[in-house]
Amino acid sequence: VTGKAPVNQFIHNKALTNASFKDVVSPNVDTIYTQVWYDLSEEPIIYVLPETGRFCKVQVLDAWTNTPTVLDQAGTYAITLLSWEGELPEGVTRIDVPTALAWSITRTVLSDEDDLANVRAIQAGNGVKYPKPSKHLLMLYEKKRHSVKDYLHKVTHYIQVYCVENNIHTVVIGDIKGIRRENDLGAVTNQKLHALPYNRIYQMPEYKLSMKGIRLIRQEESWTSQCSPLSDDVSETYARKSNRKKRGLYKDGVKIRNADAVGAYNTLRKERGMAGNFPTEKLSNPEVVKVAV
C-alpha cells in the first residue's frame, strides 16, 4: 500500500522524495521509507526483518513518539504491549512498547534510481503478521497464566500477613524494569524471563499492602548484586563483578553469601541512603519460604 493503509499493514514509499514532498520536514533524499501503525491492545504483532546487505533500520516508536528500540539486525520480532503476559514462539525477540498504539519507520538506503527495484524487493521481504498458536498451545498458555496468577496471589498474601504480624510499615522492592533488554541467559531462562508479568509483580503487592496501610517503594538497583554488603556505598566504585561467582553465590574474601540476599540487602541500603545498621548474619543462609507448590 502506498500513502495510506489500515493499522497493522505496511505503508511503502515507492519512490525517493523530492522538493514537492511536504509531509515532514527535511526527509532523506537517498532513503525509501516504510511505515506501520500497530494496534497492540489485543496481542503482539510479529515483524520480520530480512537480511538486506545495506543500511536498513526499523525505528519503533510509542504513541508519544519515544523510541523504545531500533531494529538493525535481520530477525523475527514481536512488537508487544509492555503489560502483555503471554508467551512467544521460539526464536522471536520481544520488543516492549508502553502504549497500545505504536508506530514504526523503516529506512532503507539506496544508491540511485536504478537501485529502486532492489529496495522494493527488500520491502516485499518485510512481514507483519499475528502469531497464530494452536488451540492446544492456547490452552497451555491459559493454564500457565492461571498458575502464575495463583502463585503471585499466594506470595503477596504471605508478604502482607508477615508485615502485619511483624509491624512492618514499608516494603522496598527492586525496580527491575528493562531487565529483558540485552539480557541473554540462555534459551530456557530467556523464555521464562520474558513471560513474567512484571507490571503485576508490582501491582499486586502494592494493592494488598496498601489495604493494611503499608507502603511499597520501588528502588533502582544498579550495582546491588556486585557490591559487598559491608562496602561504604552501593555504587560502581565498590562493585566487584568477580565476587559474584555464579547465580546464587557471592564470595567476599573468605565469606560466602547468597547472591540474591546480598542484592536485596544492598537495594534496601540504597533506598535508606546508606543509613542504618542492618544485620548481615542471614545473608549466608537466608530462610526459604514455600508459599505455593
Q: Residue 217 — very low, low, confident or very high, per pLDDT cuts 50/70/90?
A: very high
C-alpha span between 234 and 231 (Å, rounded): 7
Q: When comparing pLDDT for 78 and 140, which is higher?
A: 78
Cα end-to-end span (Å), the chain: 52
Region 51-79: mean pLDDT is: 88
Q: When comparing pLDDT for 196 and 93, which is higher?
A: 93
Q: Residue 130 — very low, low, confident or very high, per pLDDT cuts 50/70/90?
A: very low
Whether the predicted pLDDT of 187 surpasses 60:
no
Q: pTM of the full predicted structure?
A: 0.54
pLDDT of residue 1: 41
C-alpha span between 122 and 108 (Å, rounded): 9
Q: Which residues contact 130 (CB under 8 A, 6 or more apart)?
A: 8, 43, 44, 45, 46
Whether the predicted pLDDT of 132 surpasses 80:
no
Q: Residue 60 — very low, low, confident or very high, per pLDDT cuts 50/70/90?
A: very high
Of 130-134, 206-210, 277-281, least confident by mean pLDDT is 130-134
| Amino acid identity, position 71 | L
C-alpha span between 213 and 197 (Å, rounded): 25
* 120-149: b (≥16 Cβ within 10 Å) or e: eebbeebeeeeeebeeeeeeeeeeeeeebe
